[in-house]
């Protein structure tokens, strides 16, 4: 049986903390080119309270199953907020940025800000939900892996891999601040970048670069309460602090300073 291995949190991913338990699990090798990790969440929130999770999710598709609900969630333009109440669970997987193309082909532009029940694309999921309910992590992970493997076709692997390589480059190279920078580093024309990334990820290069810089900002804001916002804005390639703060608030839903404090308080409270 597959033994789940924990994996590092993706910057911008779901944040845990009392009374919410978040586990990120590595998937088996055959699925790793398409799926970044599985994520399992359990919570037990007192009846007189709630747990608000604010998530600036990576620009990738999530598939999730929980009691009474299941969903395919495409790239979300703005941070998602959820109120967790009572006692429950969710089991999900985060695809790689171009990974869901192995399921639906080069149609990711149609999945931006889209959320649909799994049944619309994968058929009934009641049996899957029953198998996941109450299952230990290794069993639940194997159930999810087996179910996903049946739906991955990967009919254009070369194009999917090329798109993923472009995303990996702009995500990991902190010196890439503009589309021109990405053109210079990748050797791919701006027109091809636009066409490839919209088809296989859902967002164009400019939007993706901005998204990953905001991920970087969100991560730093939650780890350093004394971070200078003007310095951060300059580091991320913004012309000034005001422009950065407006951009951050528009996507995340609150100004950077208030966001960092609220997430730190929620995580440590």
Chunked into runs of 10 residues, the chain (269 residues) has average pLDDT values of 44 54 96 97 79 75 96 91 85 98 97 95 93 97 97 97 97 91 96 98 96 89 87 89 93 87 71
Report d(CA 143, CA 140) in Å as an integer: 5
Give the per-residue pLDDT at 10.
41
Give the per-residue pLDDT at 157.
98
Give the per-residue pLDDT at 180.
96
Give the per-residue pLDDT at 48.
64
Q: Is 52 helix (H, G, I), strand (E, B) or coil?
A: strand
Read off the tokens for 139.
């069993």
Token pair 């109440």 is found at: 85
Give the per-residue pLDDT at 130.
97
Give the per-residue pLDDT at 257.
87
Report d(CA 136, CA 88) in Å as an integer: 14
Nearest Cα residue to 89 out of 64, 71, 114, 72: 64
Contact partners, residue 265, CB within 8 Å, separation at least 6: none
Give the per-residue pLDDT at 49.
61
Contact partners, residue 96, CB within 8 Å, separation at least 6: 33, 34, 35, 36, 60, 164
Give the per-residue pLDDT at 11.
43
- Reported residue count of the chain is 269
């Amino acid at each position: 049986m597959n033994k789940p291995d924990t994996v590092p949190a993706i910057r911008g991913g779901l944040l845990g903390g009392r009374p919410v338990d978040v586990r990120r699990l590595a998937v088996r090798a055959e699925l790793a080119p398409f799926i970044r990790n599985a994520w399992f969440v359990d919570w037990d929130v007192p009846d007189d309270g709630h747990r608000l999770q604010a998530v600036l999710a990576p620009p990738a598709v999530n598939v999730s199953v929980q009691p009474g609900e299941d969903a395919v969630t495409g790239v979300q333009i703005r941070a998602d907020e959820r109120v967790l109440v009572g006692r429950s669970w969710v089991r999900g997987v985060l695809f790689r940025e171009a990974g869901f193309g192995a399921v639906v082909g080069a149609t990711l532009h149609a999945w931006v800000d889209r959320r649909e029940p799994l049944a619309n694309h994968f058929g009934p999921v009641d049996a899957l939900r029953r198998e996941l309910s109450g299952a230990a992590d290794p069993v639940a992970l194997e159930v999810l892996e087996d179910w996903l493997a049946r739906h991955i076709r990967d009919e254009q692997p070369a194009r999917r891999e090329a798109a993923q390589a472009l995303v990996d480059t702009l995500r990991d190279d902190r010196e890439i601040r503009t589309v021109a920078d990405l053109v210079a580093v990748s050797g791919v024309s701006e027109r091809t970048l636009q066409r490839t990334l919209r088809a296989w990820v859902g967002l164009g290069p400019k939007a993706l670069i901005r998204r990953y810089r905001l991920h970087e900002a969100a991560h730093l804001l939650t780890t350093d309460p004394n971070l200078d916002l003007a310095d951060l804005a300059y580091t991320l390639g913004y012309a000034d602090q005001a422009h950065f703060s407006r951009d951050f608030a528009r996507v995340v839903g609150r100004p950077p300073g208030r966001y960092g404090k609220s997430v730190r308080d929620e995580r440590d409270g």
